[in-house]
Amino acid sequence: MSTLASVRRSIFPQEQDTWVSIAAREFPDQEQDNVVSQLQSWNMHVFMRPTGSGSQILPSDVIFLEAPLAQ
């Protein structure tokens, strides 16, 4: 049985979180537009979700805070 050597940094979002609110909270010293773009590219499973009239980000989603780790 293999084990994970390292795990990508991630969070569960707070209710009513947006890409902007996550970027501001998790990366306060970085340029917000760049961070939002990075978050969206690291979280295509959420970013590409059809939203209808609801929120795109759900409290049960796993939001990755870093790029996929190299093996």
Identify the residue whose tokens are 């990075």.
38
| Mean pLDDT (the chain, rounded) | 90
pLDDT at 36 over 80: yes
Looking at 1-71, list the stretches that DSSP marks H as alpha helix, in order from N- to C-terminal side.
19-26, 32-42, 44-47
Cα(53)–Cα(9) distance, rounded to whole angstroms?
A: 29
pLDDT number for residue 6: 82
Please report, rounded to a whole number, the percentage of residues in the chain having pLDDT higher than 90.
Answer: 73
pLDDT number for residue 46: 94
Say what the pTM is: 0.86
